[in-house]
């Protein structure tokens, strides 16, 4: 029993609303030029982002009012359905190919990314599995291996799309949950070493990933090809200074910086709003992490604790990776900034996850 539900954590709720507000403003500002050039409509991406944001908020309000133990029963069916979608997206004719990646599945104007469902689905599964095997977590074979086997399947399917960034977010989320569940440090250290070796191998076997790694180490060695994204991103952030050049006045968005409204939107934010604007976004993510992990620590049961930690980690790890890429702190991976970047299924399923976190917060006492 978890008691009667109270009001949700409004700090989390209003933090997410603030991030969404930043996102809608920056999607319009960063995409207006490319939208006009490609679609003859400067509001093309803005109108879609508003629709996705409204649907996402509705999904968040729905899951916020569903008692979180319902997801414990649905964890395996959701994961199974996710695996089916991850397989189908790789089938020629079913999966939509964009920029060489097969990550979308759907019909007409409606497409979703199964990997976005996989992030939430894996968090649901790992939280349930670890909550049910607390007495076995010290045993590598019985407590840790079941999570790894499922993770390897999901990781491998997403890597085939290819989408290394999302695969790393899922892997990192499971690693955090294993730590939170009490797995032995020696087991985690071994897994970390094997994981790093696996990522290095995945980079080496794919020429484009190796080029990105080399560009990360010295982007100026190939400034018009592999180093182009990093250099233009740094130009944008560097141009912003303390207060930015002004909202809507970015120069990099004039078709210099690729993907200015998705993967590199943080660079445009830095250019237009400066250090003050980027610091505000980072502080909002820090606030979300603080409240999210407090919910996890104060949850009334192990499952609630694992689920809150998983959802919080999933979002924070993705934000850290995106900001690290944009600031040239890690090699380029195609991963959006949660709540800020343009996106449909990503925004809806991330907000649905926040709704689950808010529901858990209704059963804890936070100050």
pLDDT digit string, tens, across residues 32-83: 999 999 999 999 999 999 999 999 999 999 999 999 999 999 999 999 999 9
Residue 199: pLDDT over 80 = no
Query: Is the whole-model pTM more than 0.85?
Result: yes
Question: Mean pLDDT throughout 117-132?
Answer: 93
Domains of the chain: which residue ranges?
A: 10-361
Q: Which two tokens stand for residue 340?
A: 């800020």
What percent of the chain shows pLDDT beyond 70? 97
* DSSP label of 249: -
pLDDT at 226: 77
- Rg (alpha carbons) of the chain, rounded to whole number: 20
pLDDT digits (tens, 9 = 90+) for 258-298: 889 999 999 999 999 999 999 999 999 999 999 999 999 99
Token duo for residue 193: 């070493």
Token code pair at residue 122: 């894996």
Q: Strand, helix or coil at 3?
A: coil
Sheet holding 95-98, edge to edge: 95-98, 101-107, 110-112
């Amino acid at each position: 029993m978890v008691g009667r539900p109270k009001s949700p954590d409004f700090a989390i709720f209003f933090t997410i609303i603030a991030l969404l507000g930043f996102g809608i403003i920056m999607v319009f500002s960063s995409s207006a030029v490319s939208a006009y050039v490609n679609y003859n409509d400067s509001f093309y991406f803005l109108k879609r982002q508003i629709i996705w944001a409204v649907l996402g908020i509705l999904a968040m309000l729905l899951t916020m009012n569903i008692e979180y133990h319902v997801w414990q029963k649905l964890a395996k069916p959701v994961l199974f359905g996710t695996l089916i979608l991850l397989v189908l997206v790789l089938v020629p004719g079913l999966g939509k190919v964009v920029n060489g990646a097969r990550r979308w599945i759907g019909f007409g104007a409606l497409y979703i990314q199964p990997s976005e469902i996989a992030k939430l689905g894996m968090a649901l599964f790992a939280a349930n599995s670890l909550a049910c095997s607390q007495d076995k977590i010290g045993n590598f074979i019985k407590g840790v291996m079941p999570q790894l086997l499922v993770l390897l399947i999901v990781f491998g399917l997403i890597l085939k799309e290819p989408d290394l960034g999302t695969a790393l977010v899922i892997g990192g989320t499971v690693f955090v949950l294993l730590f939170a569940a009490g797995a032995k440090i020696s087991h985690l250290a071994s897994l970390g070493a094997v994981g790093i070796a696996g990522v290095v191998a995945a980079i080496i076997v794919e020429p484009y990933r190796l080029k990105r790694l080399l560009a990360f180490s010295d982007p100026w060695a190939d400034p018009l090809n592999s180093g182009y994204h990093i250099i233009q991103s740094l130009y944008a952030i560097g141009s912003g200074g303390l207060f930015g050049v002004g909202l809507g006045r970015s120069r990099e968005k004039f078709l210099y910086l690729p993907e200015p409204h998705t993967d590199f939107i943080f660079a445009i934010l830095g250019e237009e709003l400066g250090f003050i604007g980027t610091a505000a976004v980072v502080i909002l993510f820090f606030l979300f992490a603080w409240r999210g992990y407090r919910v996890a620590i104060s949850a009334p049961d192990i499952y609630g604790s694992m689920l809150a930690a998983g959802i919080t980690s999933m979002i924070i790890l993705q934000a850290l990776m995106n900001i690290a890429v944009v600031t040239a702190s890690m090699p380029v991976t195609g991963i959006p900034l949660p709540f800020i970047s343009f996106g449909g299924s990503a925004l809806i399923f991330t907000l649905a996850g926040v709704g689950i976190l808010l529901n858990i917060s209704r059963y804890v006492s936070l100050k």
